[in-house]
Every structure is written in structure tokens, then in C-alpha cells.
Chains A and B, each alone.
Chain A
Amino acid sequence: MRKLFWIATLVLVLSTLTIATVSAQGSTPTDDEVNAIARQLYCPVCENTPLDVCPTDACKEWREEIRNMLADGKSEAEIKQYFVDYYGARVLSEPPRVGFNWLVYVVPPIVIVAGIFVLFRAFRAWSQPSASSPQGATEASTDEDDASPSSDDEYIARMEEELKKRN
């Protein structure tokens, strides 16, 4: 009886494995799986329209082609390369990282970093007092003669005296 039980269990386990294998071979890629690749591609005909949202009949055929390739076991990279080989690099949502295309990836970050550096220097310069300010001149004259008042104060005092005389 016990032996029969184990044989039955073994048969049941093996049969479920078979069912699982058949299911995997016959499964159709879902729309989400197709669109995950399609949104990385542009419609070869309609400008600037991602393949996953393009409503034309031609785009529906291309999405079906992606579905068939997924069902055949092709990887995402293989499918994208197929589209590039057949329709050109313009179908990619990101330019391939070859040749002058590298400028697209390198130049913007450099410009941003340079801009931040320029702003940093500008802010720092604005917050630092300059040596030509009245406070600086006052300090300079004080260094020369500690006993006499600042020239600006004298100048201001003389101006006020002159104004009083005129009034």
C-alpha cells in the first residue's frame, strides 16, 4: 500500500512537470511584454511616435512581429538589433553609443557641471567684500595714521560745514 502511494505520488509529480513544460512552449507573450520592447522603439514611418502607442496598421504589424519573436525565444537585445538591421538606427529611442553619438551623452552633463561651477564661483564672489569698499579704505588710512579721523569722515564734515554756511 505504501509502495503504491509513493508510485502514485511520483506519477502525479512527473505529470505536473509535463503540463508545465507544454504550457511554457505554447504561451503567447502578453501585451505588456510586447510594449516593454515596443516603447524602446520608434515607428519607422511616423516621426517621433513610440511603437507602443502608434495606432497605424503598420505599427500593429510591427508589434505583432515583436510578439512572434518573443514567442520564438528571442531576447530583447536580439529583437532591437533586428529592427535596427532592418529599419535603421533611427528606430531606437536612444541613439546608439557609437562615433559622434557619444557627444549626446557626454556634452550635456559637462555643460551642467560647468554651469554649476560658474554659479558657485559667482555666488562666492558676491558674498565676499571687496578691498575697494569704504570699509577697506578706512582700514587703509587708519593703518597709516592711527591718531587722525578717516578722510571720508573729514570730507563729510567739511561738506556739512559748507552746506550750513550756504543756508
Chain B
Amino acid sequence: MTEERPTPTPAPKRGVRTSTQIIIWVVLMALLVLVGLGLKKAQNPIISIGSKVPDFPLTMFEGYSYQGASEVNFSDLQGKVVVINFWASWCKPCEQEAAELEEAWRTYADGDDVVFLGIAWTDTPDNSKEYLERFDISYPNGPDLGSRISSIFNRNLGVPETYFVGRDGVLRNIKIGPFNSVQEIQATIDPLVAENITAGE
């Protein structure tokens, strides 16, 4: 004869309520989404060749101006080939190309097709001005305030770096490191000056 064992009393439910678990998981997923968005935003580079360059303001050093104004917006330069050169006074390779850049600029200065913009990156104002005087730079130059301009082109910027933008505001060429000659600079600019003229004819 078999005797039945009494059924054990079921243990009381332990742990977090289902509704609380759902809330915790939703909050965690929301945090993950935020982190993902932040990482995507911090991706480098910001723009690449073929993409439109966003507008940005450049406040120039004392003594520099563009068409009489001490501040210029990039959008004001639509229709021109723009050469954007990032440099710093503490950068030795920048010194190698400073004279070539100024010489190249002077071949285009009288015309209306090309604009050179020099941007001092993570530099002190006094040292920047001394550098510009030393190399007798005459094209518009200003500091990269808040690193806002460099963050458009390259979050991991090094100097020197030069960006060539066509008349349509599209980034056409990038030069990492110093130029070796004036001819090298002109060889990059001249096709950009010519291509839109050809399209317009």
C-alpha cells in the first residue's frame, strides 16, 4: 500500500515584478541608443571628398580682412574655389609650406576665382600673429575658435592639412602634410578653376 506524500507548499514568488523589469530594460535600451547616437556623431571624418562643406564663420586676426570685413562666412564664398589651410605656429612642417602657399596665393590674388583661408589650429594668438608676420602671409587668416571649423573637416586633425573646395561648395581634394612646391598647389587649384568655367560655357 502506497501512502501519498503531502504536496509541499509552493514557495512564495521572489524577484522583481515584471512591470519593473520592463521599465529597467526600456531605460537600458534608451541609454544604449543615446550612446550609439553619440558615437555616430563623433565619427571621423565628418565630411569627405564629394560632400558639401557646411557653412562656418571665420573671425580673422587683427589686420586681416576679406572685402573689407573682419569676419567671413564660408557661404559668402560660393562661386569661388576656396583653399582652406590649417596650420599652427608650433608646427614645423607648416613652416615648410608657408612661403609656397603665400607665393601661390599671390598668383591668384588679383583675380576673383580663388580665395585662400588660413586657419590657426590650437594656437595662441600672439604666436599665430608672429608666425604670420614672419612668413608675410597676406591672405585671410583667423583662429579656429572652439575648434569648431576643424571639427567639420577632421576631428583628428593634424597640421598642416589643406582642403580644396570647388565653386559649388563641394570638397574636391585634401592634402595631408606640407606642399613641396608652388606648382603642386597650382596643379590642384587650376583644374577646379577651369572645370566650372567649362561647364558654364
Q: Is the CB of B90 within 8 A of A131?
A: no
In the assembled complex, the CB of B4 is this many whole angstroms from the nearest CB of chain A, namely 8
Stretch touching chain A among B111-119, B133-141, B143-151, B186-194: B143-151
In the complex, the answer to whether A58 meets B88 with C-beta atoms within 8 Å is yes
A7: Cβ under 8 A from any B Cβ:
no
A147 at the interface (CB under 8 A from B): no
Are the CB atoms of A131 and B12 closer together than 8 Å?
A: yes
A88 interface contact, C-beta 8 A: yes
Q: Do A61 and B127 touch across chains, with their CB atoms under 8 A apart?
A: yes
Interface residues of A in 29-59 (CB under 8 A from B): 44-45, 56-58
Q: Is the CB of B10 within 8 A of A132?
A: yes
Q: Complex Cα distance A97/B34, Å?
A: 17
Give the shortest distance, in Å, between B30 (CB) and chain A (any CB): 11
A87 adjacent to B12 (CB under 8 Å): no
A137 at the interface (CB under 8 A from B): yes
Task: Pick the contact of B3: A61, A107, A130, A151 (CB < 8 A).
Answer: A151
Cβ-neighbour of A137 out of B9, B31, B124 (below 8 A) = B9
Taking a contact as CB atoms under 8 Å apart, the answer to whether A131 and B11 are in contact is yes
Categorize the interface residue count of chain A: 20 to 34
CB of B40 closer than 8 Å to a CB of A: no
Assembled-state Cα–Cα distance A155/B153 (Å): 81
9 residue pairs of the A-B complex, CB under 8 angstroms, read A61-B90, A87-B122, A87-B147, A88-B148, A88-B151, A131-B8, A132-B11, A136-B8, A151-B6
Residues of B within 8 A of A (CB): 3, 5-6, 8-12, 14, 24, 31, 34, 38, 88, 90, 122-124, 127, 143, 145-148, 151
Extra 20 A-B pairs, beta carbons < 8 Å, given A58-B123, A61-B90, A131-B12: A44-B122, A44-B147, A58-B122, A61-B124, A85-B145, A86-B143, A87-B146, A88-B146, A90-B147, A125-B14, A130-B11, A130-B12, A131-B8, A131-B9, A131-B11, A132-B8, A140-B9, A151-B3, A151-B5, A151-B6
